[in-house]
């Protein structure tokens, strides 16, 4: 029994780090998927689509750009894990139109270059624009 307690005590911190990493990586993957969905919807609906981030409520979503009508049932909204928050290269507070795609799927020039997801332990995952500028990806460590 004592041996089992020792093994559990030694493995608990590693398990905790693993679960935290999985949470933040999952949220980053969900954000990247939202950008891909926005591009697909821009092309299929023929309207500019934006991925917005609300740093106050830690939510993000996909909808047509203001002034354009799209299929409302295809808008999406997500809440990130309570332990995770967004940090962007944009200094705007509140809702930020982070990424925009034109009806032909081309990303807008005003789209952010990076989005950081940070957890309460200051671990971070960075989502960056791809080298070709056409989409977003999770930055690999060491880059």
pLDDT of residue 15 exceeding 60, the answer is no
What pTM did the predictor assign? 0.83
142 band by pLDDT with thresholds 50, 70 and 90:
very low
Q: Which residue has the higher pLDDT, 110 or 143?
A: 110
Q: Which residue has the higher pLDDT, 89 or 65?
A: 65
Does 134 map to a domain?
A: yes
Does 55 map to a domain?
A: yes
Does 130 map to a domain?
A: yes
The arithmetic mean of pLDDT across residues 43-71, rounded, is 94
Domain limits at 38? 2-138
CA distance 100 to 48: 7
Q: Which residues lie closer than 8 Å to 46 by C-beta, 6 or more apart?
A: 103
CA distance 60 to 97: 10
Domain total for the chain? 1
CATH at residue 23: 3.55.40.10
**Comparing 12-16, 66-70, 92-96, 107-111, which segment has the lowest mean pLDDT?**
12-16
Backbone angles phi, psi at 62, to 5 degrees: -130, 130
The arithmetic mean of pLDDT across residues 97-111, rounded, is 93
Does 119 map to a domain?
A: yes
C-beta separation of 93 from 56 below 8 A: yes
Q: Which residues lie closer than 8 Å to 34 by C-beta, 6 or more apart?
A: 51, 60, 61, 62, 76, 78
The partner residues of 50 in beta bridges, in order of sequence, read 63, 100
Does 74 map to a domain?
A: yes
Q: Which residues lie closer than 8 Å to 48 by C-beta, 6 or more apart?
A: 42, 64, 65, 68, 100, 101, 102, 103, 108
Does 143 map to a domain?
A: no
């Amino acid at each position: 029994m004592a041996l089992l307690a020792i093994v559990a005590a030694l493995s608990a911190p590693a398990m905790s780090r693993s679960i935290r990493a999985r949470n933040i990586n999952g949220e980053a993957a969900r954000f990247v998927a939202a950008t891909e969905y926005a591009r697909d919807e821009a092309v299929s609906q023929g309207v500019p689509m934006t991925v917005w981030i609300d740093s106050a409520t830690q939510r993000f979503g996909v909808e047509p750009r203001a002034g354009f009508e799209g299929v409302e049932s295809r808008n999406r909204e997500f809440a990130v894990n309570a332990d995770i928050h967004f940090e962007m290269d944009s200094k705007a507070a509140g809702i930020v139109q982070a990424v925009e795609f034109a009806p032909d799927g081309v990303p807008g020039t005003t789209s952010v270059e990076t989005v950081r997801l940070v957890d309460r332990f200051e671990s971070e995952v960075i989502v960056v624009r791809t080298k070709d500028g056409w989409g977003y990806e999770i930055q690999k460590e060491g880059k």
